[in-house]
């Protein structure tokens, strides 16, 4: 498992709120951050203003070779984050997994490329976390759970043991998934929901216990 320590500078893709938290994480690891990439009007004031704006997305590859930097995905939206990861990985760019020092990752955890583990998060033994997935502030993933690529576990969410989560799934803030449930690709679990049974691919669920808000989409 990589921990975000690198001899190369990082470039953050995105300039909004998630990018700000990611910048703080990288600095907590002692990483050097060259700047951020994206539309200039997306940047927040404060911490993001302390690093250079390299330019918009379409200018990035022209001025930055794959062997000169590491990349970090400062985007909260699952599909966009996953698409950028796939495109730039195919072009030879590297996305190390990054872990905040105030988080805990147990032995036997497999982390994919571009995984981000934020402050206060806990991942217990024998879990698998897919590429470009965000385990956000104070969220927890218990033993033997599998989380697919491009997912986002929002702050304070709880994934109990043996849960299987598909690709590009959003688990809302404070949601709880009981042991052994399965969540299909691109599903959305609303904030505060308690999931007690399997969720179909593309479904949106909410409530206690969680129930479907819309019909699944292919």
Among the listed residues 169, 162, 163, 117, the one whose alpha carbon sits nearest the alpha carbon of residue 148: 169
- Whole-angstrom CA distances from 104 to 57, 97, 125, 139 are 33, 14, 11, 11
Distance CA 46, CA 56 (A): 20
Per-residue tens of pLDDT for the chain, all 218 residues: 345 455 789 999 998 899 999 999 999 999 999 999 988 776 666 888 899 988 887 667 767 788 889 999 998 878 888 998 999 999 999 999 999 999 999 999 999 999 999 999 999 999 999 999 999 999 999 999 999 999 999 999 999 999 999 999 999 999 999 999 999 999 999 999 999 999 999 999 999 999 999 666 54
Would you call 85 helix, strand, or coil by DSSP? Answer: helix
pTM of the model: 0.92
């Amino acid at each position: 498992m990589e921990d975000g320590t690198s001899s190369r500078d990082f470039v953050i893709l995105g300039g909004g709120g998630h990018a700000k938290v990611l910048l703080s994480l990288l600095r907590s690891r002692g990483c050097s951050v060259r700047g951020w990439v994206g539309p200039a009007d997306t940047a927040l004031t404060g911490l993001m203003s302390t690093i250079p704006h390299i330019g918009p997305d379409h200018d990035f590859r022209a001025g930055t070779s794959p062997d000169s930097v590491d990349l970090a995905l400062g985007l909260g939206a699952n599909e966009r984050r996953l698409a950028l990861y796939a495109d730039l990985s195919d072009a030879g760019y590297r996305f190390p997994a990054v872990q905040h020092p105030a988080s805990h990752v147990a032995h036997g955890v497999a982390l994919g490329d571009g995984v981000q583990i934020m402050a206060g998060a806990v991942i217990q033994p024998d879990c698998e976390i897919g590429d470009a997935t965000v385990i956000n502030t104070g969220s927890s993933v218990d033993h033997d759970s599998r989380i697919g690529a491009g997912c986002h576990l929002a702050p304070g969410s709880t994934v109990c043991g043996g849960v299987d989560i598909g690709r590009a799934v959003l688990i809302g803030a404070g949601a709880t998934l009981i042991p052994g449930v399965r969540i299909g690709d691109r599903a959305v679990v609303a904030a505060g929901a308690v999931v007690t049974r399997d969720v179909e691919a593309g479904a949106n669920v909410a409530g206690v216990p969680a129930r479907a808000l819309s019909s699944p989409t292919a």
